[in-house]
Amino acid sequence: MTTHEERVRKSFGKQAFMSTLGAELTAVGKGLVEIRLPFSPSLTQQDGYLHAGAVTAVMDSACGYAALSVAPADHEVLTVEFKVNLLAPAASKVFVAKGQVKRAGRRLTVCTADAFAVNGEGEKVIATMLATIIALPLSGAR
């Protein structure tokens, strides 16, 4: 496992919320992270689709870890802000969020993520995120 992958997997393992959602880290590249989220009735909104908050959570983690995968070794990352567009009802048995770095700066990294409904026929985009992440020296108070 490469150093940046190890680092991302270690931090992901500490995100109890990802485990609560049932989310799984399925790919970690340099500036590219994929998270898989199986549907569960415990994650739904009023119509039985996945709640936007659950979709957002995995896109946020995908963006944050894409940023972490390109950050200096002695830095951690925090999400500053994001915008999400919900493009289609989150109706599927499996979803995947793919986050990638759009531009890595010294302090601020801008990432995008798409979330897809996965089924037999392929992937259909259901949501998209544009996010700003800040890299901070480890153990440094903001």
Q: Interface with a second copy by CB under 8 A: which residues?
A: 11-12, 14-21, 41-46, 51-54, 56-58, 60-61, 78-88, 102-103, 105-108, 110, 125, 128, 130, 132, 134, 142
- Least Å distance, CB 29 to a second copy, is 20
- Least Å distance, CB 134 to a second copy, is 7
CA torsion sign for 97, 44, 117, 19 is positive
- Strand spans (E) along 18-73: 24-29, 32-38
Residue closer to a second copy by CB (options 42, 119) is 42
Return the bridge partners of 113, or none. 99, 129
Residue closer to a second copy by CB (options 16, 73) is 16
Pick from 35, 38, 32, 9: nearest CA to 24: 35
Residue closer to a second copy by CB (options 19, 119) is 19
- Least Å distance, CB 5 to a second copy, is 16
Pick from 125, 33, 119, 123: nearest CA to 86: 125
Residue closer to a second copy by CB (options 15, 32) is 15
- Least Å distance, CB 142 to a second copy, is 6
Nearest-10 Cα torsion for 49, 53, 55, 56? 160
